[in-house]
Chain A
Amino acid sequence: EDKVVQSPLSLVVHEGDTVTLNCSYEVTNFRSLLWYKQEKKAPTFLFMLTSSGIEKKSGRLSSILDKKELFSILNITATQTGDSAVYLCVVPGAQKLVFGQGTRLTINP
């Protein structure tokens, strides 16, 4: 059965710290991996990764995919309180989106 596993499940850091969120996957016919940020309700899109070793960047956020080892990381540098959210790793399976459990990130001022 397809599965996506995220770690850690919860993370509390101070503003200004750098964090790394992990996502490993086992999904048949893998095509892409998506990262979403969920603050209150609607998950909002961050990145889509399809190729190994190519870093995607958006401001202080970056992500990379390793298709050989079947994992991805999401980095956030110089964290701000507005980065507090649940970060979801999602892999489209053959029939449905497969979600990780999410990492709850809390940034303390």
Chain B
Amino acid sequence: KAGVTQTPRYLIKTRGQQVTLSCSPISGHRSVSWYQQTPGQGLQFLFEYFSETQRNKGNFPGRFSGRQFSNSRSEMNVSTLELGDSALYLCASSLGPRDRGGHGYTFGSGTRLTVV
């Protein structure tokens, strides 16, 4: 079965712009969570969606937002980009938000965002 697909793979934006990242989960998975990974901070939780509803949100400013569609695909949007937003953005899909199984969390390859 196809894995988690994130698009685009790479993105270069200038400060002040906005960006939209996409994540298509494994077929049948209904939960998508997003993470920001930087060398200094490691992996930081952004938010989790299940059945088109945001279930949990991490400690990020309101410039970071997301949504989930009826087909479980999720998008993440960052407005008014700052240099510090440069990072690898990973999404993970699972059957549901209470899925604690190790095989239940599958990560995509990420989107590398560079803000200049």
- Residues of chain A at the chain B interface (Cβ within 8 Å): 31-32, 34, 36, 40-45, 47-48, 88, 90, 92, 95-97, 99-102
Contact = CB atoms under 8 A, between A and B. Distances in A.
B43 A99 contact: yes
B4 to A, nearest CB: 8
Interface in B47-87: 48, 55-56, 58
Contacts of A101: 42
B105 A34 contact: yes
Describe B's contact surface by its main secondary structure: strand
18 contacts: A32-B100, A32-B101, A34-B102, A34-B105, A41-B109, A41-B110, A42-B90, A44-B107, A45-B102, A45-B105, A88-B43, A92-B100, A92-B105, A95-B48, A95-B56, A97-B33, A97-B45, A99-B43
Across chains A and B, which 6 residue pairs bring their CB atoms closest together, nearest first?
Answer: A48-B102, A99-B43, A95-B56, A41-B109, A96-B45, A41-B110
A102 B102 contact: no
A42 B55 contact: no
A34 B102 CA distance: 6
B1 interface: no
